[in-house]
Amino acid sequence: MKHLRALATAVSATLLGLAVPLLAPAAARASQTAGVDITCLGSTHATYDPPITNTEQDTTAHRTTNFSCTSLLTAVSSGYLDRTVVQTLSCLLAVTPPTSTMTETYSWNTGQSSTATYVSSTAVHAADGTTTVTAVGAITSGLGLGSTVTKTVVIPQLNPTACATTGLSEVNGTASLAILPAD
């Protein structure tokens, strides 16, 4: 009887040992697509070359954003965005919303990343000159795949003298990011 129990234990351990490597890839995929709850606040810094003025022109915009984050479902506590794009920009608020999607990849302190594809954005220009841009989309790759994502960037009033003369070569602002399970 002891031998049968020992044999059953050995067979069970062997089967478990064989099953774990087979389940690991599925577990890794599940961790990418499982619901996430990442909320972040941070600061953003953008540079423009050539500097932006009151006249629309193509410029290379390089933006870096550092986030401090909270999450109950992941180990994410901070994140980073580094993005360079050529855009037609000016100091004046564009009345027409962007017609194309925008993709950004966020890098997390865990070594993971999330690629967000934004499909809707709005810009609100307040009486004090502050501009708030909010973009909404989905995580299309990486941590939180399928989750909804909302990004808000607030830029203080731009220097009107610089916009009318030499142009602005950089601006600073605040940013927030929320990645939440899709409904």
What tokens were used for 87? 């855009």
Mean pLDDT of 73-90: 94
The answer to whether the beta carbons of residues 182 and 138 sit under 8 Å apart is yes
Q: How many CA atoms lie within 13 A of 26 on its CB side?
A: 5
For 69, the domain range is 35-180
The answer to whether the beta carbons of residues 33 and 40 sit under 8 Å apart is no
Start-to-end Cα distance in the chain: 55
The CATH number assigned to the domain holding 96 equals 2.40.350
Domain count, the chain: 2
Q: Which helix (H) or strand (E) covers residue 29, if one does?
A: helix 2-33
Considering the domain architecture, whether residues 81 and 29 belong to the same structural domain is answered as no
pLDDT in tens, 25-46: 433 444 445 578 999 999 999 9
Considering the domain architecture, whether residues 58 and 120 belong to the same structural domain is answered as yes
Q: pLDDT value at position 101?
A: 85
Mean pLDDT of 75-84: 97
pTM confidence score: 0.77
